[in-house]
């Protein structure tokens, strides 16, 4: 049995928000760090198909989720930038 169809609903949302927020990426490590930090501040919502989640959500729920992802990504970008700046100053 394969569980490859099971995904965290928030992952693709976070990836899209990062892509929209960072137009000139520093490097892949930066983007991956931002994604990890953001995802760690969001609840896990596991689904088999994203369309299932969208079908059962109200527009209010979608708006709330989108807002929480926007905040998580913004905070993650700031956190990773701050960590990278302080890390390079110590080196």
pTM of the predicted structure, to 2 decimals = 0.84
DSSP-assigned states of every residue in 18-58: HHHH-SS-S-HHHHHHHHHHHHHTS---EES-HHHHHHHS-
- Could you read off the pLDDT of 53-68 as tens digits, one per residue? 777 889 999 999 999 9
Domain ranges of the chain: 23-90
Indicate whether 2 pLDDT > 90: no
pLDDT band at 91 (very low <50, low <70, confident <90, very high): very low
- Could you read off the pLDDT of 12-30 as tens digits, one per residue? 999 999 999 988 867 888 9
pLDDT band at 34 (very low <50, low <70, confident <90, very high): very high
Indicate whether 84 pLDDT > 50: yes
């Amino acid at each position: 049995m394969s569980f490859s169809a099971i995904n965290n609903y928030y992952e693709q949302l976070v990836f899209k928000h990062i892509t929209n927020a960072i137009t000139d990426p520093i490097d892949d490590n930066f983007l991956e760090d931002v994604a990890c930090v953001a995802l760690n501040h969001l609840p896990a919502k596991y689904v088999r198909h994203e369309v299932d989640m969208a079908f059962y959500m109200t527009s209010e729920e979608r708006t709330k989720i989108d807002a929480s992802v926007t905040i998580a990504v913004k905070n993650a970008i700031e956190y990773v930038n701050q960590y990278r700046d302080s890390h390079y100053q110590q080196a």
